[in-house]
Amino acid sequence: MTKTVIEVKGLSKKFGEFNALDQIDFQVNEGEIIGFLGPNGSGKTTTIRLLLGLLSPSAGKAWVLGFDSFKQSEEVRSRVGYMSQKFAIYDDLTVRENLEFYAGVYGIHDQRRVIEVCEQIGLEAQFNGLTRDLSTGWRQRLALGIALIHQPRLLFLDEPTSGVDPNARRLFWDLIYSLANQGVTILVTTHYMDEAEYCGRVAIMRDGKILAMDTPSGLKQTIVTGEVVEIATPHLTECLTWTETQEMIRHSSLSGDHLKVILAGGFNISDLNEALRVTLLNIDELKITEPGLDDVFALLTSGL
Amino acid sequence: MIKASGLRKSFGTLEAVKDVSLHIQPGEIYGLVGADGAGKTTTLRLLIGALKADAGSVEICGYDVGSQVEQARSQVGYLSQKFSLYEDLTVLENIHFFAEVRGMHRSEWQPRSDEILDFVGLSEFKERFAGKLSGGMKQKLGLATALVSKPRVLLLDEPTTGVDPVTRQEFWKLMIKLSRASGPEGYSVLLTTPYMDEAARCNRIGFMKNGTIIREGTPTQIRESFQNSVIEVQVDGGQHVKEILSKIAGVEDVRAFGDRLHLIVNKDDVDQITISATKQIKESGYQLRSLKRIVPTLEDAFISLSADDGGTQ
């Protein structure tokens, strides 16, 4: 039996005339890792703040772990871990002191829990070291440890790995996966496509709306219906102009030495090759590439 | 256009940049990638002479940054991470301000500012206060102020961080137009980014870690330098399947990617691993939805690179 951990219905938030969140609906089950993907200002952080009852909605309802986010926000907050973008870690305290401080905030005075969390995030070696000496990757893990101190069943991570290298991010995500395996539900926000690939399901946000929500593979299959082709050419800008006028091309994007085009359903690389031949543009290579979430995002937002 | 050799810079006991050399050609877009603290921004600051190197030399368009810093800087447009615009000045006034700071005369900057606003697509917003621009427009104005003095080298520190994909696409169009402009108008662009999907768009990438460039090449070269093959598996059963697969001989690593697993395997063992992975998943009673060899991503290559290099931290 899957248990519903978050349920949101018709949730909206206005700041003055600005629709920060516009009628969103979604549901999250226990143990899922959900990504909220969208540019700055698309409503990701507002969603988290509403779910935690830190903001009151303009319309709609939200339940978190069975509690009403707006009428029972104390209950929600005591059961949810939140790692915000600008997390307060005290630089002149040690790793241990930071963990103890936040444990105290939640009324936890058991040393064993502090040590347990420290082991969980792999910071044993730095336990008595000053926080200011930690690298960005380690700081992020400490922030995660702090969010975990009261053994929450649900974790909100707001842009958790901005500024870390791919390997540190990999290690961070391995931690997230092991938490999910223990039944912890995780909601992550990010504005980077490659990070969203790590999530079990992804909600794509723009202008306060959820444009689509599915597994990364599901999104690619249902939204990118034609082949994705890379065109290597010395005539980049001319070729781009050409692609923008072609009916068989739904979207094109530019890189330093190639173009990537998404073909409309029913068209393939040989149709493209045929059409390009007539243009007399020099083409070095055409090759099919795997669709990515950036292609999904581009197609979803191109009509807006 | 940019020639740096043997650059070093320490802050106290921290060696921020150790032995960095760069050679960037006209028309090239070069991406310096790496984590926060890898030394990207320090390298940029050494290149414009905002910091003095402990050792090594920099030449910009033939001018030595140590001894001819004024001439060298006149060739450079620089956009820092926290670039400042005057929010209570209009778009046009901001450009004029930055032009005059760079010693341009009215007869020079007046025609130039029209040209540049047209280029970045802000002509219609000339009279708007900078404080009233959207994030993407502010970024374009930042770029315009860096371009006003007709530099030949552009140094951009994380220009697209926090910018939405649509604006990013416009930004790349501008970069490519600039770098492709022929003759003396052609630019060299050096930008920094912590993200691989961004790096994949550059002509060449240098991956920085702990103050050194540990790998350099085109995105394709770097992907191809990845010694292993990648098999993508889609299967129900999560962690348990991950454990089963990691025990198969020849599987170096199993990385979870959302609803998929990436098996990092020896090139020679692909076929044999494909067979045994399929068999073992079926025997364990899980449903295999797909299993295929995929092209390694830049991310795959860099995870291995930074791990080979002696751990992450």
Domain B2-222, classified CATH 3.40.50.300, yes or no: yes
Specify the 3-state DSSP secondary structure of A51.
helix
**Spatial separation of the C-alpha atoms in residues B80 and A178, rounded to whole Å:** 38
Residue A195 and residue A67 share a domain: yes
CB-based contact (8 Å) between A290 and chain B? yes
Q: How far apart are CA B268 and CA B176, in angstroms?
A: 39
Q: Do both A257 and A285 map to the same domain?
A: yes
Per the structure, the count of domains in chain A is 2
Distance between CA atoms of residues B179 and B30, nearest Å: 11
With tokens 């079926």, the residue in question is: B282
| Rounded mean pLDDT, B166-173 | 79
- Residues 245-274 of chain A with CB under 8 A from chain B are 253-257
What is the per-residue pLDDT for B162? 66
What's the CATH code of the domain at A109? 3.40.50.300
Q: Which residues of A19-30 are buried (b: 16+ CB within 10 A; e: fewer)?
A: bbbbebebebeb
Sequence-separated (6 or more) residues with CB below 8 Å from residue A70: A53, A56, A57, A61, A62
Note whether A292 contacts B: Cβ–Cβ < 8 A. yes
pLDDT for A96 beyond 90: yes
Kindly tell me the burial class for residue A124, based on how many C-beta atoms sit within 10 Å of its own C-beta (0-12, 13-18, 19 or more): exposed
Q: Is residue B310 pLDDT above 70, yes or no?
A: no
Whose CA is closest to A97, among A123, A72, A75? A123
> Is there a contact between B145 and B98 (Cβ–Cβ < 8 Å)?
yes
Q: Higher pLDDT residue, B166 or A298?
A: A298
Average pLDDT (A189-211) is 91
Average pLDDT over residues B189-218: 90
How does residue B182 score in pLDDT terms, banded at 50, 70 and 90? low
Same domain, A101 and A210: yes
Which whole number is the average pLDDT over A47-59?
96
Examine the fold and report which residue of A175, A199, A221 is the final residue of a domain before the chain moves on. Answer: A221
Instruction: Give yes or no for residue B311 having a pLDDT over 60.
Output: no
Mean pLDDT of B271-287: 91
Is the pLDDT confidence value at B298 over 80? yes
Q: Where are the alpha helices (DSSP H) in chain A?
A: 44-51, 73-79, 95-105, 111-120, 136-148, 166-181, 193-196, 216-223, 236-243, 269-279, 293-302
Mean pLDDT of chain B: 87
State how far the Cα of B87 lies from the Cα of B91, in Å rounded to an integer.
9
Inter-chain contact A167–B306, Cβ cutoff 8 Å?
A: yes
Residue B218 has pLDDT above 80, yes or no: yes
CA distance A190 to chain B (A): 10
Picking from A252, A209, A212, A245, the residue whose alpha carbon sits closest to that of residue A231 is A252
Give B111's contacts (C-beta < 8 A, 6+ positions apart).
none
Q: What pLDDT sits at residue B183?
A: 58
Nearest CA in chain A to B257: A198
- Residue in B180, B255, B299 nearest the CB of A237: B180
- Listed residues A221, A238, A269: the one ending a domain: A221
Q: What is the pLDDT of residues B235-246, one digit of tens each?
A: 876 678 888 899
List the single residue in B34, B35, B173 with the smallest CB-CB distance to A254: B173
Q: Is A85 on the interface with B (CB under 8 A)?
A: no
pLDDT of residue B43: 95
Q: Check: CB of residue B190 under 8 Å from CB of residue B2.
A: yes
Q: What is the mean pLDDT of chain A?
A: 91
How do residues B48-66 score in pLDDT, each as one tens digit?
Answer: 999 999 999 999 999 999 8
CB B255 to CB A137 under 8 A? no
State the pLDDT at residue A256.
Answer: 77
Residue B251, SS3?
strand
Contact flag B35-A162 (C-beta cutoff 8 Å): no
B291/chain A closest Cα distance in angstroms: 13
Average pLDDT over residues B286-293: 90
Mean pLDDT of all residues in B81-90:
85
Length of chain B: 313
In chain B, domain spans: 2-222, 228-295
Q: Which residues contact B34 (CB under 8 A, 6 or more apart)?
A: A165, B40, B192, B194, B207, B208, B209
Mapping DSSP to helix (H, G, I), strand (E, B) and coil, where does residue A133 land? helix
Say whether B172 and A255 touch across the interface (CB within 8 A).
yes
Q: Cα(B23)–Cα(A7) distance, rounded to whole angstroms?
A: 54
Torsion angle of the four alpha carbons A54, A59, A60, A65, in this order, in degrees rounded to the nearest 10: 10
Average pLDDT (B244-258) is: 88
At A255, list the tokens: 């890189």
A262 forms beta bridges with A228, A251
Residue of B nearest to A293 (CA): B197
A186 touches chain B (CB under 8 A): no
Query: Under an 8 A CB cutoff, do A301 and B166 touch?
Result: yes
- Residues of chain B in contact with residue A166, where contact means CB-CB under 8 angstroms, are 196, 299, 302-303, 306
- Residue A1 has what pLDDT? 62
Q: Which of B36, B37, B165 sits opposite A294 (nearest CB)?
A: B165
Structure tokens at B192: 């920094």
Mutate: best of B188, B257, B300, B313, partner A, most A CBs <10 A:
B313
Checking if the pLDDT of B313 tops 50, the result is: no
Cβ within 8 Å, pair B165-A298: yes
Chain A residues lying within 8 Å of B162, measured CB to CB? 39-40, 191
Q: According to the model, what pLDDT value does residue A262 have?
A: 95
Looking at the structure, tell me whether residues A90 and A46 fall in a common domain.
Answer: yes
Does residue A203 sit in the same domain as residue A256? no
pTM over 0.90, yes/no: no
The C-alpha angle A14, A19, A22, rounded to 5 degrees, equals 100
Whether B104 has a pLDDT exceeding 70, the answer reads: yes
Q: CATH no. for residue A233?
A: 3.30.70
Q: At what angle do helices B106-120 and B135-147 cross, to 10 degrees?
A: 140
**Of A221, A241, A262, which one is at a domain's C-terminal end?**
A221
Region label for B191, one of left (φ > 0), alpha (ψ between -120 and 50) or beta (otherwise): beta
Q: Do A168 and B238 touch (CB under 8 A)?
A: no
pLDDT digits (tens, 9 = 90+) for A232-249: 988 888 899 899 999 999
- Tokens at A99, concatenated: 């963990």
- Let me know whether A63 and A178 are in one domain: yes
User: Which region among A102-116, B58-72, B79-93, B163-177 has the lowest average model confidence (pLDDT)?
Assistant: B163-177
Check residues B36 and B64 and name the one with the higher pLDDT.
B64
pLDDT band at A143 (very low <50, low <70, confident <90, very high): very high
User: Across residues A109-132, what is the average pLDDT?
Assistant: 92
Residue of B nearest to A240 (CA): B173
Domain that holds residue A83: 4-221
Residue A298, burial from CB neighbour count under 10 angstroms (0-12, 13-18, 19+): buried
Q: Tell if the CB–CB gap between B312 and A168 is shorter than 8 Å.
A: yes
A242 interfaces chain B, CB cutoff of 8 Å: no
Q: Are residues A236 and A173 part of one domain?
A: no
- Dihedral (C-alpha) B95, B100, B105, B110: value to the nearest 10 degrees? 10
CATH 1.10.3720.10 fits B228-295, yes or no: no
